């Protein structure tokens, strides 16, 4: 039992936790497909790291590795401005008064985990689970990070399987009334807290009970519950089939009376598929241009349409991820394709995951997270090239309030995440996306001109660097997107009539050459399995020069 002094200290610590913290945008609202900071009327792009707190210990992961302040600093250092913080409904409806050290003891959590928390975050062991979440929310706010609270599950456990009992309304652990009670408790608890800017209804609805009737009813009731409890937060709505399907909204839109607070979310992994399109191993077993094109077309059909039309709303790609060891070829291929969708549409997004390890997952202690941004020590990036690969995803490339022309583009090289610039030799090369070089394409078969000049991209033949020249009327200065993926920029080979040469990064330098195009065939019988991603380039629209 704690002594009187310890009790007083704990009370003082907790009241300091409840002091509202600052964040860089509150409250947020929507304007068509955009999320807007109401105080500045500027777009607020959410760049989120998923931070799990929904597993059996009901604690944000990593508290055994480093002090809370240092954990948040690592996230901030990678330029994230948001955390999608996952939680279990039962933590609020059944275990709201449980103390952390008691839960860890009951779960027989490995002694090294408890020892690590005692060393790095000793005060948290004597708190309730909710108080620990409050501690994290406050620290995130102190470091200017917004929070999207994500109801991941009802019963605290790893997610997801079709038979996990957490998948859909009336499943074993998914009582709709208790779910709404939990949403209300969370909403009221954080009402007025400027750090919490959004709340999701439910992560990845799934399983055999799924049906559209219950989806419409309970998504509506859940949204109203959150909005009544906390009218300031965005309400984030997920779809069916592991949050990949919304196409039924084309026939019957979701009508909610919650003001400008409705946001949709979607998820995708290399193995998860888009709706009824099941990808699995196709990222290495089918032509990559074809599978990328089919996947992005399915994304637009199932989900992407939500961003346009009379009922347009923001869409957050709140979960995607990849094996950050870099050793999984399928994930690598998938990620580069998905990058072109996220960047091309300048979507808000959430990477799975921030955490490098778990206290307990599926009854296994101290489990490594291969999809984690951090390594298992929570000290180093698991994927060393993260900053380069994700640099353009993090930037706000589209600004709905900008007066800059929207026909300018960044020439993007998704394989490395770099952008194209003109060097001192008037040659093209890949470099940091801090480059100010902007391009205008006159359409298929037209020039690609450097903005504010009369110069254009010109091919100098197979194997030679592409240059910027004044010779904009020749065939080798005319460019067309070829291949099913529309990610190959090609021009006519001046030494061979009818043959295309495609932009390609040199394998040994940042220089961009033209080479014979790889796997650009646009027919169903194509069996070309060579990897064409070294030739993938994308013109990314931008009206934001910051």
CA 2 to chain centre: 43
Q: Note the pLDDT of residue 530.
A: 93
Q: Provide the pairing of β-strand 357-361 with 448-450.
A: unpaired
190: phi then psi, degrees, rounded to nearest 5: -105, 10
Q: The whole model's pTM is what?
A: 0.93
Residues in the chain: 546
Domain boundaries along the sequence of the chain:
48-390, 408-541
* Nearest C-alpha neighbor of 199 from the set 188, 207, 210: 188
Q: Within 13 Å of residue 45, how many CA atoms lie on the same side as its CB?
A: 20
* Nearest C-alpha neighbor of 206 from the set 161, 248, 174: 161
* Nearest C-alpha neighbor of 180 from the set 151, 213, 147, 158: 151
Peptide bond into 27 cis (omega under 30): yes
Q: Which residues pair with 293 in a beta bridge?
A: none
Q: Note the pLDDT of residue 15.
A: 38
- CATH of range 408-541; options 2.80.10.50, 3.40.50.2020, 2.40.128.20, 3.30.70.20: 2.80.10.50
Query: Number of H helices and number of E strands within the chain?
Result: 12, 24
Q: Note the pLDDT of residue 8.
A: 34
> Could you say which residues of the chain have pLDDT below 50?
1-23, 276
Give the burial class of 14: count Cβ atoms within 10 A of its Cβ; 0-12 exposed, 13-18 middle, 19 or more buried: middle
* Nearest C-alpha neighbor of 45 from the set 82, 18, 15, 73: 82
101: phi then psi, degrees, rounded to nearest 5: -65, -30
How far is the C-alpha of 526 from the C-alpha of 520, rounded, in Å? 9
Residue by residue, DSSP assigns 300-316 as HHHTGGGGSSTT---EE
Q: What is the pLDDT of residues 92-150, one digit of tens each?
A: 999 999 999 999 999 999 899 999 999 999 999 999 999 999 999 999 999 999 999 99
Q: Which two tokens stand for residue 158?
A: 């790893």
How far is the C-alpha of 182 from the C-alpha of 350, rounded, in Å? 23
Which superfamily is assigned to 48-390 in CATH?
Answer: Glycosidases (3.20.20.80)
Q: Note the pLDDT of residue 129.
A: 98
Q: Within 13 Å of residue 85, how many CA atoms lie on the same side as its CB?
A: 30
Q: Note the pLDDT of residue 280.
A: 57
CA 267 to chain centre: 8
Contact 468, 456 (CB under 8 A): yes
Q: Provide the pairing of β-strand 456-458 with 467-469.
A: antiparallel
Residue by residue, DSSP assigns 371-387 as T-SB-TTSSSBSSTTHH
How far is the C-alpha of 470 from the C-alpha of 465, rounded, in Å? 16
Q: Note the pLDDT of residue 87.
A: 98
Q: Which residues pair with 539 in a beta bridge?
A: 411
Q: 117: part of which helix (H) or strand (E)?
A: helix 111-120
Matching residue, tokens 């902007």? 438
């Amino acid at each position: 039992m704690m002594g009187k002094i310890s009790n007083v200290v704990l009370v003082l610590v907790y009241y300091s936790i409840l002091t509202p913290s600052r964040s860089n945008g509150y409250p947020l609202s929507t304007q068509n497909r955009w999320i807007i900071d109401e105080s500045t009327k500027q777009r607020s792009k959410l760049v989120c790291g998923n931070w799990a707190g929904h597993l059996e210990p009901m604690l944000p992961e990593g508290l055994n590795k480093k002090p809370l302040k240092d954990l948040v600093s690592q996230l901030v250092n990678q330029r994230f401005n948001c955390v999608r913080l996952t939680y279990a409904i039962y933590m609020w409806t059944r275990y709201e008064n449980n103390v952390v050290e008691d839960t860890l003891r009951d779960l027989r959590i490995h002694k090294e985990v408890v020892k690590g928390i005692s060393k790095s975050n000793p005060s948290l062991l004597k708190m309730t689970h909710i108080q620990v979440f409050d501690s994290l929310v406050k620290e995130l706010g102190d470091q200017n990070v917004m929070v999207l609270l994500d109801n991941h599950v009802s019963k605290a456990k790893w997610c997801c399987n079709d038979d996990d009992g957490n998948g859909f309304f009336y499943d074993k652990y998914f009582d709709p009334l208790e779910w709404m009670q939990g949403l209300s408790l969370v909403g009221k608890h954080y009402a007025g807290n400027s750090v919490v800017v959004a709340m999701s209804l439910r992560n990845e609805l799934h399983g055999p009970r799924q049906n559209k009737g219950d989806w419409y009813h309970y998504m509506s009731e859940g949204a109203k519950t959150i909005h009544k409890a906390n009218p300031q937060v965005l309400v984030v709505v997920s779809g069916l089939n592991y949050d990949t399907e919304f196409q039924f909204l084309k026939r019957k839109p979701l009508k909610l009376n919650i003001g400008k607070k409705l946001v949709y979310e979607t998820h995708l992994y290399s193995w998860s598929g888009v709706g009824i399109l099941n990808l699995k191993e196709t990222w290495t077993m089918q032509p990559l241009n074809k599978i990328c094109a089919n996947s992005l077309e399915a994304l637009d059909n199932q989900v992407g349409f939500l961003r346009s039309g009379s009922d347009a709303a923001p869409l957050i790609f709140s979960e995607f991820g990849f094996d950050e060891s870099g050793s999984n070829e399928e994930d690598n291929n998938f990620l580069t394709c998905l990058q072109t969708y996220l960047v091309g549409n300048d979507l808000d997004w959430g990477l799975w995951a921030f955490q490098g390890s778990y206290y307990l997952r599926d009854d296994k202690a101290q489990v490594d997270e291969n999809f984690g941004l951090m390594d298992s020590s929570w000290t180093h990036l698991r994927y060393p090239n993260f900053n380069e690969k994700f640099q353009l995803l993090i930037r706000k490339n589209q600004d709905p309030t900008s007066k800059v022309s929207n026909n300018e583009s960044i020439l993007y090289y998704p394989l490395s995440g770099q952008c194209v610039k003109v060097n001192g030799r008037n040659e093209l090369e890949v470099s940091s996306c801090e480059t100010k070089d902007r391009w205008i394409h006159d359409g298929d078969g037209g020039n690609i001109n450097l903005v504010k000049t009369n110069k254009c991209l010109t091919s100098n033949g197979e194997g030679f660097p592409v240059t910027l020249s004044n010779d904009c009327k020749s065939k080798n200065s005319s460019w067309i997107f070829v291949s099913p993926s529309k990610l190959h920029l090609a021009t006519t080979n001046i030494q061979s009539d009818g043959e295309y040469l495609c932009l390609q990064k040199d394998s040994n330098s940042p220089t961009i050459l033209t080479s014979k195009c790889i796997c650009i065939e646009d027919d169903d019988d194509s069996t070309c399995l060579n990897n064409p991603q070294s030739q993938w380039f994308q013109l990314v629209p931008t009206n934001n020069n910051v």
